[in-house]
Structure formats: C-alpha cells, structure tokens
A and B are shown apart, each in its own frame.
Chain A
C-alpha cells in the first residue's frame, strides 16, 4: 500500500498562491459542517472560516453551482449536497485498503458482536473509512466520514505510535499546550506502553463518555496511517476489562491479515 506525496513546487507567483488559497478555502467550507448540522447560514460559515462575508458568498455560490452545496430556497443557508456524497463514495468504493480490510473486519464484528472500524489519519482526526457494526450492537454513530480526535481516542494513539519520533514529539508538544495537557500526554504515553507490550491500546470515555475503543495500527513501523479498532458503547469497568482481553488477540490477528492483504497494493 502506498500514499506517496509528490515533491511539489511552490506556486510560482503571488497570483498562483492566491488562486491556490481560494481552492483551499472553498474546500474548507465543505469541512466546516459538523455531524448533525443540517443547514449553515452564510454568516456562520464566514465566521467559522474567518472570511469576509462577500468572499464566503462567492465561494458558496461556486460550490452550489458545482453540486457540492444546496442553497436552501428563500434563505441565506446552505446544506451539503450530492457531489460530496459522490466524491466520498468514489474514494470509499474504490479504495483497495477499504476493499481488503472490510471482509476481515466484518468477520471480526460478526464473531464478537462489536463495532469494527478502519481509520486513517486526517489532520487532527482519525477519519473513519469503514464501519462494520456487529449484530445487535447499539448504533454508535461512527459511519464512514466520521472523525475521532487523534488526541483523545485509542485509534489516534495507535496512529501516533506508528509515526516517527519527530512527528510524535510535535504532537506531544501540541498536546501539552491544550487544556489538561499533562493528563493527555500521560494517557498517550500509557497507550504507547500498552502498544509496546500488547500491540494494542485502549481508550474509554475520554472523547465520548459512552464509547470505548481498542485499536491497533495495521502496519506498525511504517509511516502508513491505517488503524483498525473495535468500539464498544459501555463504560462499565467489568465489561471493559472483558472487552479488552477478548479483543486484543482478535484485533492483532485482523491487523496481520489486513497487512498481508495490502502488501502488494500499488
């Protein structure tokens, strides 16, 4: 598996930089919608992205003309629209990683009646690419496209553990500046310790009170960002420890299977 980045020239002039900036800002608008948010007003979007209202309006109209947003009739509000779905579906429906990992996670989810996830890192979050709900598990609202913060969830900690020490140090330095910074850093170190010892790490209730994760990197030792995880909607300590014990081996086996499957992907 690969995700190479091309060595890129900087934009050759100020116009080029401005133009690239407009593309960046336009796409940021699509990212500023949160789960459960139906429509956002032009003013709210401008505020979130710190853009002048007129600039926001021009970008919004362009996104709407291209089918990425839908302008709510007779109002100043916009909703996400079909082109976002088509784009995401084009990625998910044709990703070799998703294709190889899905059946492995499906087996895992069915066998243990748990929610299984495939995530990759995207900025400060782990982006869910696949969610296999086990039979009868409560809906954990972790559908593809959902985000789990790197700082506060086991999938994020598992990703960070697989990175170079430079990247780890940058992250830890940033974490220290956040609220409860030292406690967060301590949690990450504990996760690193668990990963070293058992190959998996866990987090319970730090991000969403009712939700726990056990996570393992798919390819530890590589810069690749894929992580698999199981999620459980319970914070009961007895259940939690049973959950961790039960899942460690299964999760590591699944990670090894997926790693083997994706080794030859271009």
Chain B
C-alpha cells in the first residue's frame, strides 16, 4: 500500500540511511508522519536521531514539504475533541503478554 503523503525519500536532507532506519524501525515513511512524531514525542525522537538540533532541522525540512493547508489539517486532527478512549488493562506485572 502506498501511503498517502510526501515520501521522506524524496526530501533533500533525509539521507537514504536515515530514511531506511525510520522505515524499518518505526514504520515512518512520509513527511507527515515525521512531523506527527516531532509534535507528539519530540524528546524520544531527538534521542533516537542524535540530538534536538539535528532533529528539529529535519522536522523543519519535513514541514517544508507540506503546504500550509496540510499542516493546518494535521493540527486540526491533533486537536480533535473526540475522546479516543481505550480500556485494555496491561498484563500482570513482570509479564509482557497474557
């Protein structure tokens, strides 16, 4: 399935090793997904990619591939007032699965 969006591999500044790493480890392949990660988990993303300065630079590059409307649309979705409730308890302490 071709994900809708702007492929990271087509954005100058995202070298192919980085693109492959994001795809294989996180399943992140589009500028939209990268910007989403930067918004939701900036600290963890910076830790993974070797520092805040480099990561924020990459986030700006990814954002530059998106139109103003696309960024606004993502922001609207992030701020959705739908509750997105969950409700499945974790496995007993010390266990990874049930």
Co-complex (A, B): no
Q: Spell out A's residues near B (CB within 8 Å).
A: none
Q: Spell out B's residues near A (CB within 8 Å).
A: none
